[in-house]
Amino acid sequence: MYDKFNKKHNQRFFSYLSLFTFMMIVLVTADNYLLMFVGWEGVGVCSYLLVCFWYTRIAANQSALSAFLTNRVGDTFLTIGMFAIIWSFGNTKKIKFSKCGNRYDCTFKNRSLSSYLEIRRYYTSQVLRNCSLAPYLSGLIEGDGYIGVKDPNSKTKVVSRPKIIIAFNLKDKPLAEKLSAELKVGKVINREKTGHVLLQILAKQEVLKIINLINGHMRTPKIEALHRAIRWINEKDSTSIPCLGLDLSPLDSNSWLAGFTDADGSFGITVYDRKKNGVFLRTSVQTFFRIEVKQNYSRKVPQDIGGGSYFNILSEIAAFFTVNLYTRTRKAEDKVYYAFMAVAHNSRSHEIVRKYFDRFPLYSSKFLAYKDWCLVQDLHRGNLSKDKLDRIQTIKNNFNNKRKVFDFSHLDYLNFK
């Protein structure tokens, strides 16, 4: 009886099996998500038919119904995901990357040869993007950099490509020149009247090089400007550079905080007399490290990339140094400025600061301030003799803005190889 039933339904069974195989091939070889969805649905239908092949058995019918309902749950989330892809990228096409050594071979369909080569150059610079100083450059740009993108609502017909400008204190001109020479980008422009210099990067390929370096390493709301630049390039040049999200790795895992400190950090030394009831007790020395930034970014930033407040990143920095986060209000003429501030002022936070900057060094003139700052701490240990106090006072008299002699030999160790 079994053999007779089995032979009678062989044709139906192998039809289902062949259709299942075909739909599975469609599912795994589809070059877009819509066709993949068709394959997925086909596999679901064939699964139901195969499970329910012995339709005279109640258990088989129940199992088939269970599989059918489970597939519907999967359909729901797959459909939502597909609509999210269409909303985010405007199409359902896939871009495939196959890794080979340190290079990426990319397959892009419906692209011109020039666009293909441009995208390929972006991804084949993987070694450059993985450079240990890429996070440093990102932190520097997020602190004192500007990523300029033409306003899409602008009525001017002049095509202005994205540009990147990094501002430096006038005394840090050697750092600006070193970055320009090492990266082979931009030119250094003097602004002596305003007390600073600019590293101005305008050329198409040079801007792409910087974007390649910092993409994926940003931690502040300024990532919004980077994403605007990338979207502009993708639209005008028909490229597909990805807008990578915020770097959520621990602060002590890379050099980002060093770059951000070179932009917005400062070291301080205070020497003061302690008195009680007007009677001199002793001379005290205090050292501190501070990072201070404005509270909010100038543009609206989506929440999925952190929002427009600097609260999150400053809170992370404060937690890293095991200190509290402060707010500061400063008035200048008729304007009020609001800022977040993290201050390392005790021995525990000082130890963390020194451990980090010894591993990821500063490269601006703040490197010299950091070395003096460490020396004062070393001198302050134990009894504070008159000789030690005189040395500390001498260091303080030539500290930060009072420094007249600069030795930038530490820039010999700055390279992006």
CATH number at residue 142: 3.10.28.10
Do 397 and 296 touch, CB atoms closer than 8 A?
no
168: buried, middle or exposed (CB in 10 Å: 19+, 13-18, 0-12)? Answer: buried
Q: What is the pLDDT of residue 155?
A: 63
Distance of CA 346 to CAs 284, 313, 393, Å? 14, 21, 20
Q: Answer yes or no: do 27 and 134 share one domain.
A: no
Residue ending a domain, among 208, 237, 266, is 237
> What is the token pair recorded at 222?
């300024």
Q: What is the pLDDT of residue 119?
A: 38
Residue 376 is assigned to a structural domain of this protein: no
The 279-294 sheet, strands edge to edge: 265-276, 279-294, 335-344, 325-332
Q: Answer yes or no: do 108 and 158 share one domain.
A: yes
Residue 145 is assigned to a structural domain of this protein: yes
Distance of CA 111 to CAs 125, 234, 330, 354, 410, Å? 20, 12, 52, 50, 45
Q: Answer yes or no: do 114 and 230 share one domain.
A: yes
Residue 199 is assigned to a structural domain of this protein: yes
Residue 285 is assigned to a structural domain of this protein: no
Find the domain containing 51 and state its range: 2-89
Q: Answer yes or no: do 79 and 202 share one domain.
A: no
Blockwise average pLDDT, block size 10, the chain, 417 residues: 55 84 88 84 83 76 79 83 75 48 34 39 44 90 93 69 94 94 93 91 94 94 95 91 93 95 95 81 88 92 89 94 92 86 94 95 95 93 86 91 91 81
User: Which residues lie below 8 Å from residue 209, measured CB to CB, with a gap of 6+?
Assistant: 125, 128, 183, 185
Q: Answer yes or no: do 102 and 73 share one domain.
A: no
Residue 245 is assigned to a structural domain of this protein: no
Q: Taking the CB of residue 172, how many other CB atoms lie within 10 A of it?
A: 21
Distance of CA 72 to CAs 17, 48, 69, 78, Å? 21, 12, 5, 10
Question: Which residues on adjacent β-strands are paired with residue 289?
Answer: 267, 344
Q: What is the pLDDT of residues 79-106, one digit of tens each?
A: 888 788 777 666 666 544 333 333 333 3
Q: What is the pLDDT of residue 54?
A: 72
Residue 151 is assigned to a structural domain of this protein: yes
Angle, helices 366-380 vs 386-397, to 10°: value is 170
Q: Answer yes or no: do 57 and 168 share one domain.
A: no
User: Which residues lie below 8 Å from residue 95, measured CB to CB, with a gap of 6+?
Assistant: 106, 107, 108, 240
Residue 407 is assigned to a structural domain of this protein: no
Residue ending a domain, among 237, 269, 289, is 237
> What is the token pair recorded at 381?
């240990």
Instruction: Report which residue type is found at 278.
Output: G
Q: Answer yes or no: do 66 and 107 share one domain.
A: no
Q: Answer yes or no: do 29 and 46 share one domain.
A: yes
Distance of CA 132 to CAs 12, 122, 124, 299, 361, Å? 61, 18, 17, 30, 12
Q: What is the pLDDT of residue 144?
A: 94
- Residue 195 backbone class (left: φ over 0; alpha: ψ -120 to 50; beta: rest): left
Number of structural domains in the chain: 2
Exposure b/e, 17-29, CB count within 10 A at least 16 = b: eebbeebeebbee
Q: For the chain, first and last CA: distance in Å? A: 77
Q: Answer yes or no: do 46 and 112 share one domain.
A: no
Exposure b/e, 275-309, CB count within 10 A at least 16 = b: eeeeeeeeeebebbbbbbbebebeeebeeebbbbb
User: Which residues lie below 8 Å from residue 348, measured CB to CB, with a gap of 6+?
Assistant: 322
Alpha-carbon span 370 to 362, nearest angstrom: 8
Q: Answer yes or no: do 126 and 199 share one domain.
A: yes
Q: Answer yes or no: do 59 and 153 share one domain.
A: no
Residue 391 is assigned to a structural domain of this protein: no
Do 232 and 150 touch, CB atoms closer than 8 A?
yes
Residue ending a domain, among 89, 116, 150, is 89
SS3 381: coil
Q: Answer yes or no: do 10 and 79 share one domain.
A: yes
> What is the token pair recorded at 191?
């602004």
Q: What is the pLDDT of residue 81?
A: 82
